[in-house]
């Protein structure tokens, strides 16, 4: 039972109608959001949508202009940053170059004047957690970028915050190391049980690490959901387009059953069928969203698929694991399909200009009204 589905669960963090203005400019616009204990929560959105402002308000570097932020049910407005059970890890890591890894991790604990044995025990625990025992005596310039990232993480977890804010934590790492580090982050988050809130530009990263993602635009949250729901059931065309690859096709919908409708694309002869749960008036303009990998490309019309449209291959992209096919419908509508190449050798290879059938299940696409 996920906490956000449990009516009894108490959120760790609550944004209640929070607005943040900088002069005339509204950076966060009447935003309400709950984040639960032990969540790995991702804020995702284009540059300037207000992600960093959300983090800075949680850390206490900015105050809301209107509304409240509650932590464990208490308004945190009066609590200064250093007294909040919140820590922030920056992309630059901000390690002290003249201090050893050990002393970098111990820094906050020493400043809090904890007893020496307590500090030592905690630093050792953090070194073990982040697999840095061997590097304790080195200085930051004597370790790799990935190791520096782990030191920064160890240091920001040393005081056992309830909430850790991660601002583009893996931005400085190359792709391969970044992927490995994502799994390490998830592992450490689970072991410590700390609530993580991460800001990232990288949608795949958010999909990989997060329990839930908030997709933001212009200071508002457009959708909060699990990665799978964000991908499979986007609330609108903005979310569908922001995450992953998608065909967005304009059409008109007509209800054909309690939760079904038919959608006619402007340029296609035959309508397709889809699940429609929203209240739709007949003939309403909709956007039909379908992911390329849900579409099968075949030479003949498949008998067992609800939706099939004929078209012509305009372009094929070979990406190794998958191939992508740009297919033009008779009226000019372009549709992108993608198929894995795992069984490629058993399958007929297509070439440009081939006439093909695109087909997919009724549940594969989503009908969007905004």
Binding interface with ligand ATP (CB under 6 A): 22, 25, 27, 45, 47-53
Closer of 27 and 197 to ligand ATP (Cβ): 27
Query: How far is it, in rounded angstroms, from Cα 203 to Cα 208?
Result: 9
Kindly state the smallest distance separating residue 212's Cβ from ligand ATP, in Å: 18
Question: 66-83: buried (b, 16+ CB within 10 Å) or exposed (e) per residue?
Answer: ebebbbeeeebeeeeeee
Closer of 47 and 281 to ligand ATP (Cβ): 47
Closer of 56 and 178 to ligand ATP (Cβ): 56
Kindly state the smallest distance separating residue 23's Cβ from ligand ATP, in Å: 7
Output the six-digit token pair for 200. Answer: 């990232």
Q: Kindly compute the dihedral angle of the four CA atoms of residues 157, 162, 165, 169, in this order, to the nearest 10 degrees.
A: 30
Q: Which residues contact 4 (CB under 8 A, 6 or more apart)?
A: 34, 36, 212
Kindly state the smallest distance separating residue 169's Cβ from ligand ATP, in Å: 14
Q: Which of 6, 13, 1 is nearest to 195 (CA)?
A: 13
Kindly state the smallest distance separating residue 92's Cβ from ligand ATP, in Å: 14
Kindly state the smallest distance separating residue 289's Cβ from ligand ATP, in Å: 24
Closer of 169 and 311 to ligand ATP (Cβ): 169
Kindly state the smallest distance separating residue 97's Cβ from ligand ATP, in Å: 25
Kindly state the smallest distance separating residue 39's Cβ from ligand ATP, in Å: 20
Closer of 132 and 163 to ligand ATP (Cβ): 163
Kindly state the smallest distance separating residue 22's Cβ from ligand ATP, in Å: 3
Phi, psi angle pair for 51, to nearest 5°: -60, -50
Report the run of H or E that residue 151 belongs to, with start and end. Answer: helix 145-157
The Cα angle at residue 193 between residues 190 and 196, in degrees rounded to 5: 85
Closer of 51 and 291 to ligand ATP (Cβ): 51
Report the run of H or E that residue 260 belongs to, with start and end. Answer: strand 260-265
Name the 3-class secondary structure at 345. Answer: helix
In this structure, the number of other CB atoms found within 10 A of the CB of residue 189 comes to 22
Closer of 124 and 202 to ligand ATP (Cβ): 202
Q: How far apart are the first and last CA of the chain?
A: 31
Closer of 51 and 122 to ligand ATP (Cβ): 51
Answer yes or no: are the C-beta atoms of 261 and 254 closer than 8 Å. yes
Query: How far is it, in rounded angstroms, from Cα 123 to Cα 271?
Result: 64
């Amino acid at each position: 039972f996920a906490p956000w589905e449990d009516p009894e669960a108490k959120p760790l963090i609550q944004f209640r109608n929070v607005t943040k203005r900088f002069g005339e400019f509204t950076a966060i616009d009447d935003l309400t959001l709950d984040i639960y204990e032990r969540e790995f929560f991702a804020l995702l959105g284009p540059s300037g949508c207000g992600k960093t402002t959300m983090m800075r308000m949680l850390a206490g570097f900015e105050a809301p202009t209107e509304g409240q932020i509650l932590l464990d049910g208490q308004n945190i407005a009066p609590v200064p940053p250093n007294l909040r059970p919140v820590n922030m890890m920056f992309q630059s890591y901000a390690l002290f170059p003249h201090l050893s890894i050990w002393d970098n991790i111990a820094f906050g604990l020493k400043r809090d004047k904890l007893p020496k044995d307590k500090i030592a025990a905690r630093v050792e625990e953090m070194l073990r957690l982040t697999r840095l025992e061997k590097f304790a005596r080195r200085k930051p310039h004597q370790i790799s970028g990935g190791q520096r990232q782990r030191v920064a993480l160890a240091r920001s977890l040393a005081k056992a915050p309830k909430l850790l804010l991660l601002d583009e934590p893996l931005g400085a790492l190359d792709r391969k190391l970044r992927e490995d580090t994502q799994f390490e982050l998830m592992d450490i988050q689970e072991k410590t049980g700390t609530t993580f809130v991460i800001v990232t530009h990288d949608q795949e990263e958010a999909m990989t690490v997060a329990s839930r993602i908030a997709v933001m635009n212009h200071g508002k949250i457009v959708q909060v959901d699990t990665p799978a729901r964000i991908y499979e059931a986007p609330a609108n065309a903005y979310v569908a387009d922001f995450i992953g690859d998608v065909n967005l096709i304009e059409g008109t919908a007509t209800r054909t059953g309690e939760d079904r409708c038919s959608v006619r694309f402007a340029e296609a002869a035959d309508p397709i069928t889809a699940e429609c749960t929203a209240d739709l008036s007949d003939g309403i303009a909709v956007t039909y969203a379908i992911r390329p990998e849900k579409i099968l490309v075949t030479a003949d019309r498949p008998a067992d698929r609800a939706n099939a449209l004929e078209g012509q291959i305009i372009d094929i992209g070979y990406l190794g694991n998958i191939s992508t096919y740009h297919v033009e419908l008779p009226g000019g509508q372009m549709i992108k399909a993608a198929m894995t190449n795992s069984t490629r050798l058993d399958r007929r290879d297509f070439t440009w200009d081939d006439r093909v059938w695109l087909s997919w299940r009724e549940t594969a696409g989503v009908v969007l009204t905004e």
